[in-house]
Amino acid sequence: MPNAKLAGSVITNFSLPKDELAVTVDVGVDYSSALDQVERVTLEVARQLMIYADGAASGFEPRVRYHTFGDSSINFTVWLGARDFPSGLTIKHEFIKRLHDRYRSEDISLPFPTRRLELTAGTILKLREIMLHP
Q: Which of 82, 60, 96 is nearest to 14 (CA)?
A: 82
Residue type for 17, please?
Answer: P
Give the rounded percent of residues in the chain with a pLDDT score beyond 70. 93
pLDDT tens for 53-78 read: 999 998 999 999 999 999 899 999 99
pTM: 0.74
For the chain, the structural domain boundaries read: 17-134
Tell me which of 3.40.50.2300, 1.10.10.10, 3.40.50.2000, 3.30.70.100 is the CATH number of domain 17-134.
3.30.70.100
Regarding predicted confidence, which is higher, 82 or 130?
A: 82
Counting beta carbons within 10 angstroms of the beta carbon of residue 88, is it exposed (0 to 12), middle (13 to 18) or buried (19 or more)?
A: buried
Q: How far is CA 46 from the centre of its chain?
A: 13
pLDDT tens for 77-99 read: 999 999 999 999 999 999 999 99
The stretch 6-11 carries a mean pLDDT of 76
Counting beta carbons within 10 angstroms of the beta carbon of residue 91, is it exposed (0 to 12), middle (13 to 18) or buried (19 or more)?
A: buried
Give the residues across from 29 on adjacent strands: 74
H/E stretch holding 27 reads strand 21-29
Given a cut of 80, is residue 18 above it in pLDDT?
Answer: no
Would you say 10 and 3 are in contact if contact means Cβ atoms under 8 Å apart?
no
